[in-house]
Amino acid sequence: MAQPKLSLKEKYQLMTRGLDWETTYQPMDKVFPYDKYEGIKIKNWDKWEDPFRLTMEAYWKYQAEKERKLYAILDSFSQNNGQLNLSDARYMTAIKLWLQGITPLEYYAHRGFAHVGRQFRGAGARVACQMQALDELRHAQTQMHAFSHYNKHFGGFHQANHLRDRAWYLSIPKSFFEDAMGAGPFEFVTSISFAFEYVLTNLLFMPFVSGAAYNGDIATTTFGFSAQSDESRHMTLGIEVVKFVLEQHEDNVPIMQRYIDKWFWRGYRLLALVGTMMDYMLPRKVMSWAEAWGIYWEENGFALFNDLSRYGIRMPKYHEVATKEKMHITHQAWSVFYTACPATGFHTWLPQPYEMDWLSDKYGETFDRFYRPRFELFGQMEKAGNRFFTNRLPLVCQTCQVPDFFTEVDNPMKQSVRHYQWKGMKFNFCSDGCKDIFVNEPEKFCQAYIPPQQIYQGNAGGARTLPEYAAWLRCPMGSEAGDYYSSDDYQNWLKWHGGKDTTPSTAAA
Amino acid sequence: MSVANDATHNKVFISFQNNEEARPIIESILEDNPGAVVSEMPAMIKIDVPYLLVVRRSTIEEKIGRNFDLQSMHINLISLAGNIEESEDEFILAWGPSGHSA
Amino acid sequence: MGMVTIGDYDFPCADRVENYGGDINIYCCWEHHLLVPAPAAYRLSPEMTLRLFIEQMFIPDHNHHPDMSHLDLGRLRWTHDSQPWDPDLDKTLTENGVTHMSYLSFYQPGLDGVKGSGV
């Protein structure tokens, strides 16, 4: 007689329970040395509820199908010279930044989850981390594969690993992940699965990837959505870990709150790069950073924290600062990229008139009062044949490593800088959020490898000036760095389009 | 700062690639969730519902005229928000204590 | 709250002054002039006078700014690590109390950038 069919829950429990055992040759605490020192108390790992009850068999089946679809589209994009149908070659700056800054994070995530997947003594959590480690490796690979097509046609794609080690702006994402990977397993999962993936990555993979579609980049659209469908599993792991830990012991609440505060702020600072991609690097616009923040944080994020309030968890510290800053940070970050682009692996430009109007429309008084005059002054300097580049290294925040372009939330004309002394040494920060993180863990953050400081100490091939540093970066003006309109990318783009500049004249398609 | 706790700030959502495979899933969700609001963006669709959203296998199967494994929606799923309760017949996203799969 | 670690955890600061060969690192910013969009870092001898630094290094970095012709070193309001500060331009950085990683900024009343935008 046929057995009754198992429910999803039963199937999954059969798969994940009983995979492990109580060790006898060595005590469990020696076999799993890392999952107690953070102070998180777990009374019963069997209470772990698997968020997506995906069996390994189903996992392989659906992942294989995603891959087949993805590679079919990538092949077709490449065979049909899809790069010619992009809205404008300026768009490539966003994709260079993705390959240089985001793809390495996928690989870091793979390593991180492979590591913590070994460290949790609960088998359910281990299986979820193992699947995620596999997903993240897939993301790194599919992204490199998709971008390899652009490497045949544009600068900035051929030395991403070299840039990851040397480029100042890439220390922002790198330090974010190294901080997470240098933490205990519970902090790692809270930082990456919960704070970053659940709370923040929708901002990258939804509006930006939709923008990629709008700008003709089918390759990025396809891998982006394919990756985000894995992310929805990861996000669910994040919220499950948080709820599980909070339910296990009341002593866990303040520890988790501190992790959430820290990683919300660190993730938010990292996303300044994504916001700038949306507002400035998409020639055709889908949604502004401020609008995306409103939807994905102020609506969806608030809903999440309303739900978590029953465990005694409150909104992340300084979230109201982040919401006030949404009107400013992308314009400020673009100003840094615009002025520092000779020492990067991408090109920048002044917004076109239609983009200035779009920014006025989306940011209103804030843009017209504080940022339009800035871009107009840059424009006058360009016209006079004196395109402005900074020739000094900036103050970089000791915690988030973002050049401190941030201003006081109540005074956008005044630079926001915070100070702290520890063991007789001075440290500087961009914000109260970053200062608090340092004050909690000065022993860790005093070791930060801050690019301008390392350059001045002689650890960038002896470079002291920005041009010397750019040479060490192997990013010559024209082919890799500098203004877009004097770049090889722009010249090639004109050549491929019969001399015609395809810059859109409106934000809409 | 107090956090608004109204329907706007208690929305769950699910988002799919805007393609042929996802269309019957999207149509079923709209049918099964009267409060659903659809936003269309290039290449994607996002569906928001206050508090609770259900994806029902039987509704999808009626539309496509064959068996459907709910987990296969992963292939065209982009993202979601809410606590998940999943069975072979229903996939539910919800906020609030009832949404916790305890 | 101290850091929670699995064992001994004591590592030197990456940017300690010994790594600068007798020099120090300082930051300087002209308030309400964000054309240079972040405060700049300088590696300097602590024996340099503040005037030499401002005249020979800082001003040339901002020469392109339309407000520069109105800059009057005698009218600046200074801060050091964000506290009000009254330095003597002709004394050295050390004599003025400037140390490794000091953050200096100045503001000249009436100069608020292009169209008063802080740029």
Where are chain A's structural domains?
A: 45-496
Residue A351 parent element (H or E): none
Q: Residue A56: CB partners within 8 Å, gap ≥ 6? A: A15
A46 — pLDDT class (breaks 50, 70, 90): confident
CA angle at residue A285 from A90 to A319, to 5 degrees? Answer: 110
A509 — pLDDT class (breaks 50, 70, 90): low
Alpha-carbon gap, residue A235 to A137, rounded angstroms: 17
The Cα-based distances of C77 to C17, C58, C59, C119 in angstroms read: 28, 16, 16, 18
pLDDT for residue A16: 67
For residue A42, the SS3 value is coil
Q: Do A39 and C4 touch (CB under 8 A)?
A: yes
Looking at per-residue pLDDT, the higher value among B68 and A230 belongs to: B68
pLDDT for residue B29: 98
Do residues A133 and A117 lie in contact, with contact meaning Cβ atoms separated by under 8 Å?
yes
Secondary structure string (H, E, C) spanning chain C = CCCCCCCCCCCCCCCCHHHHCCCEEEEEEECCCCCCCCCEEEEECCCCEHHHHHHHHHHHHCCCCHHHHHCCHHHCEEEECCEEECCCCCCECCCCCCCCCEEEEEECCCCCCHHHCCC
The answer, yes or no, to whether residue C43 has pLDDT greater than 90, is yes
Q: Do A440 and C105 touch (CB under 8 A)?
A: no
C48-61 per-residue burial string, b: 16 or more CB within 10 A, e: under 16: bbbebbbeeebeeb
The answer, yes or no, to whether residue B73 has pLDDT greater than 50, is yes
The answer, yes or no, to whether residue A502 has pLDDT greater than 70, is yes
Burial class (CB in 10 A: 0-12, 13-18, 19+), A482: buried
Provide mean pLDDT across the span A251-279.
96
What ipTM was reported for this prediction? 0.97
The answer, yes or no, to whether residue A313 has pLDDT greater than 70, is yes
Q: Which of A390, A391, A289, A386 is nearest to A331 (CA)?
A: A289
Alpha-carbon gap, residue A445 to A437, rounded angstroms: 9
pLDDT for residue A62: 92
B2 falls within a domain: no
Alpha-carbon gap, residue A45 to A33, rounded angstroms: 16
The answer, yes or no, to whether residue A13 has pLDDT greater than 80, is no
Alpha-carbon gap, residue B85 to A431, rounded angstroms: 39
Q: Do A232 and B80 touch (CB under 8 A)?
A: yes
The answer, yes or no, to whether residue A50 has pLDDT greater than 90, is no
Q: Is B80 on the interface with A (CB under 8 A)?
A: yes
pLDDT for residue B101: 39
CA angle at residue B79 from B78 to B82, to 5 degrees? Answer: 155
Task: Kindly list the residues from chain A whose CB atom is less than 8 angstroms away from the CB atom of residue C32.
Answer: 413-414
Amino acid present at A230: D
> What domain range includes position B31?
8-99
The answer, yes or no, to whether residue A122 has pLDDT greater than 70, is yes
The answer, yes or no, to whether residue A48 has pLDDT greater than 90, is no
The answer, yes or no, to whether residue A26 has pLDDT greater than 70, is yes
Task: Kindly list the residues from chain C whose CB atom is less than 8 angstroms away from the CB atom of residue A377.
Answer: 35, 66, 114, 119
Q: Residue A169: CB partners within 8 Å, gap ≥ 6? A: A101, A273, A337, A344
A336 — pLDDT class (breaks 50, 70, 90): very high
Best of A456, A465, A466 to disrupt the C interface (most C CBs within 10 Å) is A456
Q: Do A205 and B78 touch (CB under 8 A)?
A: yes
The answer, yes or no, to whether residue B15 has pLDDT greater than 90, is yes
pLDDT for residue A2: 63
Provide mean pLDDT across the span A321-333.
97
Provide mean pLDDT across the span A225-241.
87
Q: What is the mean pLDDT of chain A?
A: 93
The answer, yes or no, to whether residue B87 has pLDDT greater than 90, is no
pLDDT for residue A6: 75
Do residues A124 and A17 lie in contact, with contact meaning Cβ atoms separated by under 8 Å?
yes
Q: Is A207 on the interface with B (CB under 8 A)?
A: yes
Task: Kindly list the residues from chain B whose CB atom is less than 8 angstroms away from the CB atom of residue A53.
Answer: 86
| Strand C102-107 relative to strand B90-94, pairing | unpaired
Percent of chain A clearing pLDDT 70 (strictly above): 98
B68 falls within a domain: yes
The answer, yes or no, to whether residue A18 has pLDDT greater than 80, is no
Q: Which of residues 261-300 of A touch B (CB under 8 A)?
A: 286-287, 299-300
Q: Do A452 and C4 touch (CB under 8 A)?
A: no
Alpha-carbon gap, residue A387 to A383, rounded angstroms: 8
pLDDT for residue A167: 95
C-alpha distance from B29 to closest chain A C-alpha (Å)? 18
pLDDT for residue B99: 43
Q: For residue range A470-491, what is the model confidence (pLDDT) as tens digits?
A: 999 999 999 999 999 999 999 9
The answer, yes or no, to whether residue C1 has pLDDT greater than 80, is no
pLDDT for residue A211: 95
The answer, yes or no, to whether residue A21 has pLDDT greater than 90, is no
C-alpha distance from A39 to closest chain B C-alpha (Å)? 24
C-alpha distance from B21 to closest chain A C-alpha (Å)? 12
pLDDT for residue A464: 81
The CATH number of whichever domain residue B32 belongs to comes to 3.90.56.10
Burial class (CB in 10 A: 0-12, 13-18, 19+), A140: buried
| Strand C77-80 relative to strand C83-85, pairing | antiparallel
Please name the chains neighbouring B, where neighbouring means 3+ C-beta pairs under 8 angstroms: A
Instruction: Name the residue with tokens 């920048």.
Output: A348
CATH number attached to the domain at A45-496 = 1.10.620.20
Q: Do B86 and A310 touch (CB under 8 A)?
A: no
The answer, yes or no, to whether residue A276 has pLDDT greater than 60, is yes
Q: Which of A210, A202, A223, A260 is nearest to A146 (CA)?
A: A223
pLDDT for residue C27: 98
CB pairs under 8 A between A and C: 157
pLDDT for residue A1: 56
Task: Kindly list the residues from chain B whose CB atom is less than 8 angstroms away from the CB atom of residue A231.
Answer: 79
The answer, yes or no, to whether residue B100 has pLDDT greater than 50, is no
pLDDT for residue B6: 80
Looking at per-residue pLDDT, the higher value among A21 and A354 belongs to: A354
Percent of chain A clearing pLDDT 90 (strictly above): 80
Q: Do C38 and A412 touch (CB under 8 A)?
A: no
Q: Which of residues 346-405 of A touch B (CB under 8 A)?
A: none
Q: Do A374 and C35 touch (CB under 8 A)?
A: yes
Do residues A31 and A23 lie in contact, with contact meaning Cβ atoms separated by under 8 Å?
yes
Q: Which of A275, A408, A395 is nearest to A334 (CA)?
A: A275
Cα separation of the two ends of chain C: 40
Task: Kindly list the residues from chain A whose CB atom is less than 8 angstroms away from the CB atom of residue C102.
Answer: 426
Give DSSP secondary structure letters for A199-231. IITHHIIIIIHHHHHHTT-HHHHHHHHHHHHHH
- Least confident residue range of A20-24, A285-289, B24-28, C81-85: A20-24
Alpha-carbon gap, residue A302 to C20, rounded angstroms: 47
SS3 content of chain B, % helix, strand, coil (to 5): 30, 35, 30
The answer, yes or no, to whether residue B1 has pLDDT greater than 60, is no
Both tokens of residue B18?
A: 């805007």
Please name the chains neighbouring A, where neighbouring means 3+ C-beta pairs under 8 angstroms: B, C
pTM of the model: 0.95
